Every structure is written in structure tokens, then in C-alpha cells.
Amino acid sequence: MQEPQHPVRRPWERPQPQIRLTHADRDAVTEVLREAYGKGQLDEDEFEERLDRAMRAKFGADLEPLTQDLGLTPQGRPAAPAGARAAGGGEAPESTSVERVVAGLAHAGNYFFPLIAPLVLFLGAANVSPYVRRQALESLNFQLACIIGAVLSLVTFWLVVPMFFLVAIMVGWAVIPAIGTIAALMGKDWRYPLPRRLRLVKDE
């Protein structure tokens, strides 16, 4: 008699599948964003960007960052106090210990497989672990920004000033990913100190 087969679960998947969002869920957060825009909490660019992300969101964890800094939940209710927050990130959506280790590898990969490690994890975590995907995206954008900044500094080295930027980039490259790794292992929603315009890869 053939034994029943059980679906294979990837190591970082949670025991229970996440529930996908409904149109009503997305409508609720867009209304919150419209009110924040009307109050002046968001400028036009921020409003449009968050609105686009809300429409593309698939899971509840994707909506939380859109209203977190407004002091509201995606449903418009006051958010619970965040308590102590790590530099560059707050409390992330619930994640398993394995997810945190994998997310940590997305940052630590900076020292061994630059660009490749976060890119592979970013693509591989799609529809599997929003937490891993988000941390891999942060690492990927940081590494891209560092590489582009370093190349531009070397090309314009004769201006002298860019060389100071190159030194700063090298120090940041050596130190900041280590902080991101620790934050990910602690389950934090780590974000690198990058301007929005330097985040070249979007989570679409």
C-alpha cells in the first residue's frame, strides 16, 4: 500500500500558509494613505509610491510598512507602541528562526558573494517569505548603491573630493552589512540608510 505523500515545505516557510489579501484589505489601506496625504503626513511622491505598493501587495506583511510611520495599522487603527527600536529598523512582521537566519545571510553575503547572495534570496523568497524577500531587497539595493558610488568616485578621482566619498563607501561596505545581519537575526525590519532615489530595485 502506497504511503500518503505530504507536500514538501521549504526550510524557511511557516507551518501555516499566509493568507493572501483581498480587495477590501487593499481598499482599507489606500483610504488610510489618502487621509495621511490630506493631512500633510505624506508628500505627493510618497503618496503615489505607497499607493502603488498597496495595490501590488499580496500579504498583510506587505502593507504594514506603508502605515507604520503614520502611527496607524493598515486598517486605520492606532498602532501599538513600537518600544525600543533598532537603528535603521523596527520590529518586523512575525518570522521564524530559520527565516531570520536566511535573512541574515542576505546581509552577510555582502562579504562573500556581493550582489549574488541577496539577488538569489530576493528572487527565491517570492511568495514564500516576505521577511526574507524584504531583507534581501534592502541588501541588494545597498550593494548596488555602493558599487555605483565607488565607480563614480574612481572615475572622477581627479576632483579629489570624490575620494573622500570612496573612503566612506568602503567603510560603510565593511561595517553596515554586519549591523544588518545582526538586526535580521533579531527579527528586526532593518532598512539601510539610503535615500529613496538610490533604491534602484523595487519589490513589484
pLDDT tens digits for 139-188? Answer: 999 999 988 888 888 777 666 666 777 788 888 889 999 999 999 999 88
Residue bearing cell 566619498: 165
pLDDT at residue 156, rounded to an integer? 77
pLDDT at residue 82, rounded to an integer? 44
pLDDT at residue 85, rounded to an integer? 41
Over 90: is that where the pLDDT of 108 sits?
A: yes
105 band by pLDDT with thresholds 50, 70 and 90? very high
Spatial CB neighbours of 18, under 8 Å, sequence gap ≥ 6: 59, 60, 61, 130
Residue bearing cell 495599522: 73
- Note every long-range contact of 167-171, with CB atoms under 8 Å and residues 24 or more positions apart, other chains counting: none
Over 50: is that where the pLDDT of 81 sits?
A: no
**Highest mean pLDDT: which range of 13-17, 77-81, 94-98, 176-180:** 176-180
77 band by pLDDT with thresholds 50, 70 and 90? low
How far apart are the C-alpha atoms of 190 and 179, rounded to whole Å? 9
Q: What is the mean pLDDT of residues 64-86?
A: 65
pLDDT at residue 107, rounded to an integer? 93
For 40, 116, 136, 157, 164, the CA distances from 107, given in Å and listed in that order, are 35, 11, 7, 29, 25
Tell me the domain boundaries of the chain. 23-70, 89-198
Gap between the terminal Cα atoms of the chain = 46
Instruction: List, for residues 2-58, the tens digit of each pLDDT value.
Output: 444 444 444 444 444 467 888 888 888 888 888 888 888 888 888 889 889 888 888
How far apart are the C-alpha atoms of 19 and 162, rounded to whole Å? 48
How far apart are the C-alpha atoms of 51 and 44, rounded to whole Å? 10
pLDDT at residue 76, rounded to an integer? 64
CA-angle at 62, arms to 82 and 43, nearest 5°: 75
Nearest to 96 by CA among 19, 185, 180, 203: 185
**Highest mean pLDDT: which range of 72-76, 80-84, 110-114:** 110-114
pLDDT at residue 190, rounded to an integer? 86
Over 80: is that where the pLDDT of 100 sits?
A: yes
Nearest to 33 by CA among 61, 87, 72: 72
Task: Return the bridge partners of 188, or none.
Answer: 91
Mean pLDDT of the chain: 78
Residue bearing cell 534602484: 200
How far apart are the C-alpha atoms of 61 and 194, rounded to whole Å? 22
Detail the DSSP E strand segments found in the chain. Answer: 89-91, 188-190
How far apart are the C-alpha atoms of 137 and 160, rounded to whole Å? 32
